[in-house]
Amino acid sequence: MKKKRIAAILIGLALVALVVPVWADTGPDESTLEQIGIGTGSVVGSVVYFPVKASFCVLGGLSSIYTSLFVGPKTTHEVLSLSCRGNWAVSPHHLKGEESLTFIGDVPGDALPSASSVEPEAGPQ
Protein backbone atom coordinates (compact mmCIF):
# COMPACT_ATOMS: atom_id res chain seq x y z
CA MET A 1 0.00 0.00 0.00
CA LYS A 2 2.91 2.35 0.72
CA LYS A 3 4.29 1.87 -2.80
CA LYS A 4 1.01 3.00 -4.33
CA ARG A 5 0.94 6.11 -2.14
CA ILE A 6 4.52 7.01 -3.04
CA ALA A 7 3.79 6.48 -6.74
CA ALA A 8 0.69 8.70 -6.49
CA ILE A 9 2.70 11.46 -4.80
CA LEU A 10 5.44 11.26 -7.43
CA ILE A 11 2.91 11.45 -10.26
CA GLY A 12 1.24 14.42 -8.60
CA LEU A 13 4.57 16.21 -8.21
CA ALA A 14 5.44 15.50 -11.84
CA LEU A 15 2.14 16.99 -13.00
CA VAL A 16 2.69 20.10 -10.87
CA ALA A 17 6.22 20.43 -12.24
CA LEU A 18 4.79 20.44 -15.76
CA VAL A 19 2.30 23.21 -14.95
CA VAL A 20 4.67 25.61 -13.15
CA PRO A 21 6.66 26.63 -16.28
CA VAL A 22 3.37 27.40 -18.02
CA TRP A 23 2.57 30.12 -15.48
CA ALA A 24 5.96 31.73 -16.06
CA ASP A 25 5.41 31.86 -19.83
CA THR A 26 2.07 33.67 -19.88
CA GLY A 27 1.33 37.20 -20.98
CA PRO A 28 0.02 39.95 -18.74
CA ASP A 29 -3.37 39.99 -20.48
CA GLU A 30 -4.26 36.42 -19.44
CA SER A 31 -6.31 35.86 -16.33
CA THR A 32 -5.21 33.46 -13.63
CA LEU A 33 -8.16 31.21 -14.39
CA GLU A 34 -7.19 31.11 -18.06
CA GLN A 35 -3.58 30.28 -17.14
CA ILE A 36 -4.72 27.45 -14.89
CA GLY A 37 -7.07 26.13 -17.58
CA ILE A 38 -4.42 26.15 -20.28
CA GLY A 39 -1.85 24.59 -17.95
CA THR A 40 -4.26 21.87 -16.88
CA GLY A 41 -5.30 21.24 -20.48
CA SER A 42 -1.66 20.94 -21.46
CA VAL A 43 -0.96 18.39 -18.73
CA VAL A 44 -4.11 16.34 -19.35
CA GLY A 45 -3.57 16.49 -23.11
CA SER A 46 0.02 15.34 -22.71
CA VAL A 47 -0.99 12.49 -20.39
CA VAL A 48 -3.30 11.18 -23.12
CA TYR A 49 -1.11 12.11 -26.12
CA PHE A 50 2.26 10.78 -24.89
CA PRO A 51 1.32 7.06 -24.65
CA VAL A 52 -0.27 7.18 -28.09
CA LYS A 53 2.84 8.84 -29.57
CA ALA A 54 5.14 6.37 -27.76
CA SER A 55 3.13 3.42 -29.11
CA PHE A 56 3.33 4.87 -32.61
CA CYS A 57 7.11 5.26 -32.27
CA VAL A 58 7.55 1.70 -30.98
CA LEU A 59 5.47 0.33 -33.87
CA GLY A 60 7.55 2.41 -36.27
CA GLY A 61 10.71 0.97 -34.74
CA LEU A 62 9.42 -2.57 -35.16
CA SER A 63 8.38 -1.81 -38.73
CA SER A 64 11.81 -0.38 -39.48
CA ILE A 65 13.37 -3.75 -38.64
CA TYR A 66 11.42 -5.36 -41.46
CA THR A 67 12.06 -2.37 -43.68
CA SER A 68 15.81 -2.70 -43.20
CA LEU A 69 15.69 -6.36 -44.17
CA PHE A 70 13.72 -5.88 -47.37
CA VAL A 71 14.16 -2.30 -48.60
CA GLY A 72 17.31 -0.70 -47.25
CA PRO A 73 18.76 1.80 -44.80
CA LYS A 74 17.39 4.97 -46.42
CA THR A 75 13.78 3.81 -46.12
CA THR A 76 14.47 2.51 -42.62
CA HIS A 77 15.65 5.97 -41.60
CA GLU A 78 12.54 7.52 -43.15
CA VAL A 79 10.20 5.14 -41.29
CA LEU A 80 11.90 5.86 -37.96
CA SER A 81 11.92 9.63 -38.58
CA LEU A 82 8.26 9.73 -39.53
CA SER A 83 7.15 7.68 -36.55
CA CYS A 84 9.41 9.02 -33.78
CA ARG A 85 9.91 12.69 -34.65
CA GLY A 86 7.31 15.37 -34.06
CA ASN A 87 5.83 16.63 -30.82
CA TRP A 88 5.83 14.37 -27.79
CA ALA A 89 3.77 16.63 -25.52
CA VAL A 90 0.92 19.11 -25.80
CA SER A 91 2.18 22.57 -24.91
CA PRO A 92 0.16 25.68 -24.07
CA HIS A 93 1.24 27.09 -27.44
CA HIS A 94 -0.57 24.20 -29.13
CA LEU A 95 -3.72 24.87 -27.14
CA LYS A 96 -3.62 28.60 -27.92
CA GLY A 97 -3.20 27.90 -31.65
CA GLU A 98 0.24 29.51 -31.82
CA GLU A 99 1.89 26.28 -32.99
CA SER A 100 0.54 23.21 -34.72
CA LEU A 101 0.77 19.83 -33.04
CA THR A 102 2.87 17.53 -35.22
CA PHE A 103 2.11 13.85 -34.66
CA ILE A 104 4.02 12.51 -37.66
CA GLY A 105 7.53 13.91 -37.91
CA ASP A 106 9.53 14.84 -40.93
CA VAL A 107 12.61 13.26 -42.43
CA PRO A 108 15.63 15.48 -41.78
CA GLY A 109 17.30 16.73 -44.92
CA ASP A 110 14.20 16.28 -47.08
CA ALA A 111 12.67 19.66 -46.26
CA LEU A 112 14.32 21.33 -49.23
CA PRO A 113 14.70 19.66 -52.63
CA SER A 114 18.27 18.96 -53.64
CA ALA A 115 19.84 20.95 -56.48
CA SER A 116 20.05 17.88 -58.71
CA SER A 117 16.31 17.21 -58.45
CA VAL A 118 15.26 20.75 -59.41
CA GLU A 119 14.83 21.22 -63.12
CA PRO A 120 15.63 24.64 -64.59
CA GLU A 121 12.60 26.70 -65.46
CA ALA A 122 11.95 27.42 -69.08
CA GLY A 123 12.39 31.08 -69.90
CA PRO A 124 10.23 33.19 -72.23
CA GLN A 125 10.30 31.98 -75.81
Q: What is the pTM of this model?
A: 0.59
The three-state DSSP-derived secondary structure of the chain is CHHHHHHHHHHHHHHHHHHHHHHHCCCCCCCHHHHHHHHHHHHHHHHHHHHHHHHHHHHHHHHHHHHHHHCCHHHHHHHHHHHHCCCCCCCHHHHHCCCCCCCCCCCCCCCCCCHHHCCCCCCCC
Per-residue pLDDT of the chain (125 residues; tens, 9 = 90+): 677 767 666 566 566 555 545 444 555 677 888 888 899 999 999 999 999 999 999 999 999 988 888 888 888 888 888 899 989 899 998 888 888 888 888 877 654 344 444 444 554 54
